[in-house]
Amino acid sequence: MDGQPLRFDTKIAVLLRDDLAPWQRLNVTSFLVSGLGIQVPEVIGAPYEDADGITYLPMFRQPVLVFEATKEVLKAAHARTLTRALPRAIFTADLFSTGNDTDNRAAVRAVPTADLDLVGLAVYGPKGGVDKVVKGARMHP
C-alpha cells in the first residue's frame, strides 16, 4: 500500500439518540453493529494474528461512524432507511428493560413501525445513501 488511506464506497453508521446515558450509548452501539456482519458479510475483514501466531476474530474492514441526534431526527433517519431499503438494525427504549434476545424481539414486534421509541439505528450501504439517512445528525463527540 502506498501509505494513502483506503477509501470505501460504502459506509457503516450508527445513529444514537442524544439523551442516552454513556453506558446506554455504548450498549446500544454494540448491539446495533452486531448484526451487520451476519447480514452483510462483505463488511467483515480477515482474522487477526499476532507475532506469536495467536489468532483473533475478524472485525469490520472499515470504520464505523457514530452520530447523535434528537428523537425527531432519529425517527426521520429510520424512515429514510426504509425508503432506501438499506440494511439496518434498530434499538428501542423498551430493550433496556428486557433481559434476553427472545424478549427483545417480542418488545419490538409489539410496536407498530411508526410508534417505535427508537434510541439507536445502524445502517450500511453506499456512502451517498447513508449520508442522506443521517442528514441532520452530528458526529458523536
Would you give per-residue pLDDT tens digits along the chain (141 residues)?
Answer: 456 667 889 999 999 999 999 999 999 999 999 988 888 998 999 999 999 999 999 999 999 999 999 999 999 999 999 999 899 999 999 999 998 999 999 999 999 999 999 999 999 999 999 999 999 998 888
What pLDDT does residue 4 have? 66
Which of the 8 DSSP states describes residue 60? B
* Contact between residue 73 and residue 137 where contact means Cβ atoms under 8 Å apart: yes
- The whole-angstrom distance between residue 95's C-alpha and the CA centroid of its chain comes to 15
What pLDDT does residue 139 have? 87
Distance CA 48, CA 55 (A): 6
Cell (9 digits) for 55: 489468532
Distance CA 55, CA 34 (A): 20
Distance CA 99, CA 104 (A): 8
* pTM for this predicted structure: 0.90
* Contact between residue 24 and residue 119 where contact means Cβ atoms under 8 Å apart: yes
